[in-house]
Structure 1
Amino acid sequence: MQRRYLSLAAAIATTMTLTLTGCGSGTGSGDDVTLKLVAADYGDSKSNGSQHYWDELAGAFEKKHPGIKVDVDVYSWTDVDKKVEDMVKDGHAPDLAQIGAYADYAAKGQLYSADQLLSIPVQADFTPSLAEAGEYKRVQYGMPFGASTRRLFYNKKLFAQAGIASPPQDWDDIAHDAELLKAHGVSMPFALPLGPEETQAETLQWMLSGGGGYTDSIGKYTIDSPENVKTFTWLQKNLVAKGLTGTDPAKLNRAAAFQGFADGKVGMLNGHPTLMKQAGAKGIDYGSVELPGTNGKAKNTMGVADWMMAFKQGGHRAQVGKFLDFVYSDKNVEKFSAEYGLLPVTTSASEAMQADDTYAKLHGFLKQLPNAEFYPANKTSWPLISKTVKAKMGAAVDPRGNPAGVLTDIQNTADAADNTGE
């Protein structure tokens, strides 16, 4: 907690300085400013794309702040990180970017810190685990925007047809239930998406359920730890080799796995809150439980956060701060979360949703968020390691593969990246 108090103290000092000096050089305080925001698209169709959300929010903000315009461009997750990267390289960084990683920009001194932008109540309201995940060298640069945790989803109808009375609680249950589902004609008893789309997420979920993870308590990569080797060896021998994943995990992407569950073809899979809407729309009667571990439920679940960041180049600190305070108001945080099936990133909005039965299906995910474990996004090497995991982890569970060898290969890449400061 000491670090959090220090962060708030810094925010107080910054606020006092701005009060005494006014909006001086570098704050971009002039009238008729246009802020440029590049954001990711959370919609699954044009009708509910994020452009609609941002256009409405920007319009509401501009009515309250007529001297500030907000120009928003929304891109798919496939393109948005590269788009921002190219803009920065070309010398035209946006004022704001809502993308997947912040550490590399923070390390290069290109970002405002959160306490230079947000009012004290807004910064203090971030869920502590998310605020900490947004820190680079103990200073918060990444402001969480949209979060999720993971649970195991199961198809109640398929379970009943296979004579399974309750959801799995540990790995033995997963393997046993998958065998029963296969025997009753389920084409994909357990969907294991280790294809290139979001392999880093499925990988971390299994690492955590096996007592491992990407890093240790001091941030050193532990990808080839005994726990992780044991986990992927178990998957190889007990699910993949026995044909219980239905297809080659290296070729299965998360989107296809989710679609298979919504189509009633998947018995079990690890999923996040957006799967509820997708499965519900197809009439799937599903349940969800905390991730099973080796002996009972896993000690930790995976959390994922996307990040808002503000670039210094445009010099519009004051206007960006006003806009972000508006973005992170309870009303707007709750609206975004409800619209896209994500978890709110502030304590006040989380408490409001947990007290509202309208969001009852999200309550299990919300309760997990404070103790969830996140990607090591504060490491500048993480984008490279994530890319490497996407390219190689599918081979680790191939029946003819070598899990220990694959994990060691990725570990070597991680060590080299850390040693060279990448």
Structure 2
Amino acid sequence: MNNAVVRKLALLSGVPLLLLAIPLTGCMKEERGTALSEPEPKAFISFVAPEYSSATKPFFENAVKDFETKYPNIEVELQVINWDHLDSAYTTMISRNQPPDLLLSNMYAHFAKDGLLNNMDELLSPALRKKIYPYFTETGKWSGVRYTVPYAATIRELYYNKDIFNEVGIDGPPTTWRELEDAARKIKSTKQVDGFGLDLTDNEIWAYLSYFFYGAGGGWMKDGEWAINSPKNVEGILFLKELYEKGLTDPEPTVTTRDEKQRILGNGKLGMLISGNYFESVVPREFPGLKWGKGPIPVKEGQTPLVLGVQDIWMSFRTDHTNKEALSKFLDFIYEDARYEEFVIQEGFIPTISTVGEKLAQNDSLMRQNLDWIQHAKFYPIQHPAWSAVLNATRNMGQAVLLGQMTPQLALDRLQQIALSKSQ
């Protein structure tokens, strides 16, 4: 083969190689460009919730898993903490400048006062804001700004063992203090079981103080000012002390918790106690043969029948990595109707959003009643920054008052001083 033919074949064979080189070069440029582009940054949310029951943690774990599947660019860190340790846990986080992005708890205003919280109106979507029952929202505002979203709500009423009442000849729940004392005495003398469950433990004492403050015609505040040591409130505590001294309550009010007392009632060893509406789902499940009834919290003669409303609220702390768009998506997600309905039914709560409340009330007369009554309930003054300090100060006063180490007047004077000092 001569040199001319070789050169010709070489040129012909090179043509497709050159042609192929053109698109290959383009692809290589695109791949290099993709490799150099910045990946979309991940948002991060940490949230802390209390443990209401053994089902609480699995519920939130499943919710986080589903949320991260739907939003793979948002990472969620979850902690579910027993109520007994919740306050100390998040207090430690805050002291280390590592607060959670979201906290579910029962007090917030001291954090708002210190400038630690996000404005919830900047996180709530219009759709979620529209669903929230309005009567829950006022206690979530401090200085006119919404810092909380209600999530878990209950209504406190008097629950009683119907079999015990029938056996001793009591027709229905007592509505006054005199009737409460008479019923407790009749149960104690006839059945030889405790008449009235009184919870002055560190977990619940502020609730029982509220029942008998309001029942006497008093309350934590009057005309926007702290009024803890008012004569009416002192009268309420004196009545509780007298019930205990007469042997008409359970023998260990500062030791046995509300949940333990509910089981004692279910076992037929206690006539009545004040509890939340979760009683209606939790206790009959554990004691399927129990016949129970309920009524308003007994009050002093001449006072208006009383129910107490309690709510636990979401708050959002300002952090170095706060991502309001991610937080808004997460709040929408955990309030989705089917998911939130599961939570409410599982824990025995009252819905705080109308879409779920209306659905559950359609075929449940107890839910309809609870939703109606909570609109007229008294609430803790959680919108006042001093409430946190007042609540904590109540924890150690139950035993001192019952055993005579401190008079009711002196105990309430001290609470009043704490409230005033923390309000400055």
TM-score range, shorter-chain basis? 0.7 to 0.9
Query: Which blocks of at least 5 consecutive residues in structure 1 are unaligned?
Result: 1-28
Q: CA deviation at 1:258?
A: 2.1
| Further displaced range: 303-312 or 397-406 | 397-406
2:112 aligned to 92, 106, 116, which one? 106
2:358 aligned to 351, 359, 374, which one? 351
What is the CA–CA distance in structure 1 between the aligned matches of 2:362 and 2:400, rounded to whole Å?
44
Provide the alpha-carbon RMSD of the alignment. Answer: 2.1
Structure 1 counterpart SS, 2:78: strand
Calculate percent identity across the aligned residue pairs.
27
Partner residue in 2 for 1:324: 331
Structure 1 counterpart SS, 2:351: coil
Structure 2 counterpart SS, 1:150: strand
1:368 aligned to 360, 366, 373, which one? 373
> Could you report, residue by residue, the CA deviation over 1:59-98 in whole angstroms, capped at 9, with x for unpaired residues?
2223332322322111111122222221222122222111
Q: CA deviation at 1:99?
A: 2.1
1:90 aligned to 89, 96, 103, which one? 96
2:164 aligned to 151, 158, 165, which one? 158
Aligned ranges for residues 212-231 of structure 1 at < 5 Å?
A: 212-218=218-224, 220-231=225-236
Q: CA deviation at 1:297?
A: 7.1
Q: Report if aligned partners of 2:116, 2:318 keep a CA contact under 8 Å in 1.
A: yes
TM-aligned CA distance change 1:169 to 1:300, over 3 Å: closer
Structure 1 counterpart SS, 2:294: strand
> Could you report, residue by residue, the CA deviation over 1:317-344 in whole angstroms, capped at 9, with x for unpaired residues?
1100111012122222222111101111
- Partner amino acid, structure 2, of 1:136: W
* Counterpart check, 1:336 vs 2:343: yes
- Partner amino acid, structure 2, of 1:33: A
TM-aligned CA distance change 1:367 to 1:235, over 3 Å: same
What is the CA–CA distance in structure 2 between the aligned matches of 1:381 and 1:400, rounded to whole Å?
25
What is the CA–CA distance in structure 2 between the aligned matches of 1:292 and 1:298, rounded to whole Å?
9
Partner residue in 2 for 1:290: 296
Partner residue in 1 for 2:43: 33
Calculate the TM-score normalised by the size of structure 2: 0.85
Structure 1 counterpart SS, 2:379: coil
Q: Report if aligned partners of 1:191, 1:257 keep a CA contact under 8 Å in 2.
A: yes
Q: Report if aligned partners of 1:155, 1:267 keep a CA contact under 8 Å in 2.
A: yes
Structure 1 counterpart SS, 2:246: coil
Q: Report if aligned partners of 2:136, 2:150 keep a CA contact under 8 Å in 1.
A: yes
Q: Report if aligned partners of 2:155, 2:310 keep a CA contact under 8 Å in 1.
A: yes
Q: CA deviation at 1:248?
A: 4.1
What is the CA–CA distance in structure 2 between the aligned matches of 1:247 and 1:308, rounded to whole Å?
37
1:405 aligned to 407, 410, 415, which one? 410
- Partner amino acid, structure 2, of 1:258: Q
Q: Report if aligned partners of 1:262, 1:278 keep a CA contact under 8 Å in 2.
A: no
- Partner amino acid, structure 1, of 2:45: L
| Alignment: residue pair count | 383
What is the CA–CA distance in structure 2 between the aligned matches of 1:387 and 1:328, rounded to whole Å?
30
Partner residue in 2 for 1:147: 153
Q: Report if aligned partners of 1:41, 1:75 keep a CA contact under 8 Å in 2.
A: yes
Q: CA deviation at 1:397?
A: 4.4
> Could you report, residue by residue, the CA deviation over 1:339-378 in whole angstroms, capped at 9, with x for unpaired residues?
1011111233222222222xx3333322221222221112
Calculate the TM-score normalised by the size of structure 1: 0.85
- Partner amino acid, structure 1, of 2:417: N
What is the CA–CA distance in structure 1 between the aligned matches of 2:158 and 2:303, rounded to whole Å?
11
Partner residue in 1 for 2:14: none
Structure 2 counterpart SS, 1:59: helix
Partner residue in 1 for 2:131: 125
What is the CA–CA distance in structure 1 between the aligned matches of 2:165 and 2:130, rounded to whole Å?
44
Structure 2 counterpart SS, 1:190: strand
Aligned ranges for residues 139-288 of structure 1 at < 5 Å?
A: 139-218=145-224, 220-237=225-242, 239-280=243-284, 281-282=286-287, 283-288=289-294
Q: CA deviation at 1:189?
A: 0.4
Q: CA deviation at 1:401?
A: 5.7
Query: Larger Cα Rg: Structure 1 or Structure 2?
Result: 2
Structure 1 counterpart SS, 2:341: helix
> Could you report, residue by residue, the CA deviation over 1:102-127 in whole angstroms, capped at 9, with x for unpaired residues?
22222222221111001123123222
- Partner amino acid, structure 1, of 2:175: Q
What is the CA–CA distance in structure 1 between the aligned matches of 2:182 and 2:306, rounded to whole Å?
23
Q: CA deviation at 1:216?
A: 1.7
TM-aligned CA distance change 1:400 to 1:36, over 3 Å: closer
What is the CA–CA distance in structure 2 between the aligned matches of 1:99 and 1:179, rounded to whole Å?
38
Q: CA deviation at 1:386?
A: 0.6
What is the CA–CA distance in structure 2 between the aligned matches of 1:38 and 1:250, rounded to whole Å?
28
